[in-house]
Amino acid sequence: METQELAGQVAQAVANRGLHEAVARSVDRHSYAALAALSPELRALYKARARAARLRSVRGLADLAEQFIAEAERHGIIVHTAADAAEAVAIVAEIAKRHDARRIVKSKSMATEEVELNRHLAAEGMQVLETDLGEYIVQLAGQRPSHIVAPCLHMARDEIAGLFSREAGREIAKDTPSLTSFARERLREEFREADLGISGGNFLVASEGAVVLVTNEGNGRMCTTLPKVHVALVGVEKLVRSFSDMADALRILPVAATGQLITSYVSIVRGPAKDGEEGPREVHVVLMDAGRSEILGGPYEEVLACIRCGACLDICPVYRQTGGHAYGSVYSGPIGAVLTPLLRPDPAAQALPFLSSLCGACSDVCPVGIHLHEHLVALRARAVARGVAFPSEHAAFRALRRAWTPPRRYRLVRGLMRGALRVGGGVPQLRAWTSGRRLPPVATVRVGELLRREGLIEERR
């Protein structure tokens, strides 16, 4: 049972209290910075504009894709379309092979995580190095990113110093300057040698045929300018109509992610270098669908407006306890629990919407106003319809429905309920409750009776 497997993963993550401490510390830093960055009035204004711009784009996606391809090709960008993950991987691998690429540098990209690009390229004998600091750290640890914008947020500083020391073959101190200067040296060397640079894209601007990258470390710019070939693998939902629509979304993205008004780098890639210019000789864009267009036009369409800021992960009371890996998916937190079952048909993905207390903080914090908690509830119903549920629950709720509606019957079986709860030690659900919480006693007399005795009710019926 997928739900039971998920519950097991979660229990394991929760047992690791060091993980919770590391995650909680980082997400709180993000959330507080995001809260302090804008006045409530400005936040509401930016949110409304970002949502409108993103929804406009999502609803016109097919046309925008066409326009993007035409404009990009006019500037000499070679555009590929990939229907699914396998196609996307094959296209990138083919480009790499054609250029005999041995060493590849990558900037952070969730789309490439989604298709497990690194694993596939490594199988072709290529060496892929992640150059975003956090992504580099999780790569060294042999892990996957645990957060959309901060891949190694779950790791403690000591752990990172250990990884770096092992990589360096000498002791690297755990203070920030020592850690970053080691990574900088190591990565610089690789940027100079790489044959191919791979990136994702935060926005694809249709009217300009441009790929836009939003980064803080400058590694994205190096990946897209130093190697002689640049490939950007981007989900098709990242299309926006114009620079003006992009600006509406870009204004809120860094605020929501880390509380910055703007990131250190916003890079706009408009094509290969012309003669006499420095830069890549070839630029490819792989427009990847991989399940996106199936979401279009349906009840979950607005989910495609997501700008991957990670704010819903940062505010989530579940994520702060479990970190991202417990979700067992590339995207974690509330957006991961919504997006993953929409992109992946497997039963394990369908179970993810259950991993939420439905507090709704995510919907409030989302900078493009996605109704995350409502989608979580709807996707639970979809999971149940597909046969993914917690064991014996369907029978239990069917019985409850029969026993409690119509209301008159509720009155009759209430007494039975009481008895069942009193001797209910054998019911797994009850045991799950009482394993760490006391259950108050069930009242003997109906509350209606008490209200009547006290003369609080108008007897009319």
Partner 1 sequence: MRVRLFTTCLGDLFAQQAVLSTARVLRRLGHEIELPEQSCCGQPAYNSGFQEEAKPFIAAYLDKFRGSEAVVAPSGSCVAMLRHGLAQFFGEDGEARRLAEHTYEMSQFLLDVEGLRAPKGHFDAKAIYHESCHLSHWLHQGDRAKELLSGIEGLELLTFREPQLCCGFGGTFAVHFPELSIAMADEKLQDLGSPEPDILVASDQGCLMQLGGRIAAKGGKRPEPMHLSVLLDRAGVGK
Task: Name which of residues 360 to 419 contact partner 1 (CB under 8 A).
Answer: 360-361, 363-364, 373, 377, 380-384, 389-390, 393-394, 397-398, 400-401, 404-408, 410-411, 414, 417-418
* Closest-CA residue to 59 (of 304, 272, 263): 304
Q: What's the min distance (Å) between Cβ of 275 and partner 1?
A: 57
Q: How many angstroms separate the Cα of 454 from the Cα of each of 192, 447, 451, 457?
A: 84, 11, 5, 8
CB of 308 to partner 1, least distance (A): 22
**Omega before 406 cis (within 30°)?**
yes
- Using CB atoms within 10 Å of the CB of residue 234, give its burial: 0 to 12 exposed, 13 to 18 middle, 19+ buried: buried
**Cβ-based nearer residue to partner 1, 100 or 459:** 459
Do the Cβ atoms of 225 and 193 come closer than 8 Å?
Answer: no
Cβ proximity to partner 1: between 19 and 117 the closer is: 19
Output the smallest distance, CB 11 to partner 1, in A: 5
State the residue for tokens 């630029």. 283
User: Is 134 within 8 Å of 152 (Cβ atoms)?
Assistant: yes
- Binder among 18, 297, 299, 317 for partner 1 (CB under 8 A): 317
Positions 17 through 36 that interact with partner 1 (CB under 8 A): 20, 24
Specify the residue, 221 or 373, whose C-beta has the smaller distance to partner 1. 373
Asked if 429 touches partner 1 (CB under 8 A), the answer is: yes
Binding region for partner 1 (CB under 8 A) out of 188-196, 266-274, 338-346, 434-442: 434-442
By CB under 8 A, how many residues form the interface with partner 1?
73
Binding partner 1 (rule: CB under 8 A), the pick from 40, 177, 276, 436 is: 436
What's the 3-state SS for 256-311? HHHCCCCCCEEEEECCCCCCCCCCCCEEEEEEECCCHHHHCCCCCHHHHHCCCCCH
Comparing CB distances to partner 1, the nearer of 294 and 449 is 449
Residue 27 vs 212, nearer CB to partner 1: 27
Segment interacting with partner 1, rule: CB under 8 A, options 46-54, 133-141, 233-241, 312-320:
312-320
Cβ distance 147 to 29 under 8 Å?
no
* Residues 155 and 21: beta-carbon distance below 8 Å: no
Q: Which one among 67, 139, 258, 322 touches partner 1, defined by CB under 8 A? A: 322
Cα separation, 36 vs 49, in Å, equals 20
Write the CA distances from 375 to 36, 59, 301, 364, integer angstroms: 28, 18, 10, 14
Indicate the residue among 281 and 446 with the shorter CB distance to partner 1.
446
12-22 as b/e: b if 16+ CB within 10 A: ebeebeebbeb
- Hey, which residues between 125 and 144 contact partner 1 (CB under 8 A)? none
For partner 1, which stretch binds (CB under 8 A), given 60-68, 254-262, 303-311, 435-443? 435-443
Looking at 143-218, list the stretches that DSSP marks H as alpha helix, in order from N- to C-terminal side: 157-168, 176-193
> Which position among 355, 366, 368, 370 is part of the footprint of partner 1 (CB under 8 A)?
355
Is 62 or 443 the residue whose CB approaches partner 1 more closely? 443
The H or E element containing residue 130 is strand 127-130
Q: Which is nearer to partner 1, 89 or 365 (CB)?
A: 365
Q: For partner 1, which is the closer residue by CB, 170 or 437?
A: 437
Smallest separation, CB 146 to partner 1 (Å): 16
Task: Return the residue of 7, 45, 48, 78 that touches partner 1, per CB under 8 A.
Answer: 7
In the complex with partner 1, the residue whose CB is nearer, 125 or 406, is: 406
Minimum distance, C-beta of residue 344 to partner 1, in the bound complex (Å): 18
DSSP state of 144: -
- Helical packing angle, 176-193 and 133-140, nearest 10°: 90
Q: Could you identify the residue written with the tokens 């992946």?
A: 344
How many C-alpha atoms does 409 have within 13 Å on its Cβ side? 8
Least CB distance to partner 1 at residue 58 (A): 24
Candidates 156-164, 217-225, 293-301, 443-451; binding stretch for partner 1 (CB under 8 A): 443-451
CA-closest candidate to residue 136, choices 122, 118, 116? 118
Cβ 365 to partner 1 shortest distance, Å: 10
Least separation in angstroms between residue 397's CB and partner 1 is 4
Please identify which residue in 96, 224, 354, 375 interacts with partner 1, judged by CB under 8 A.
354
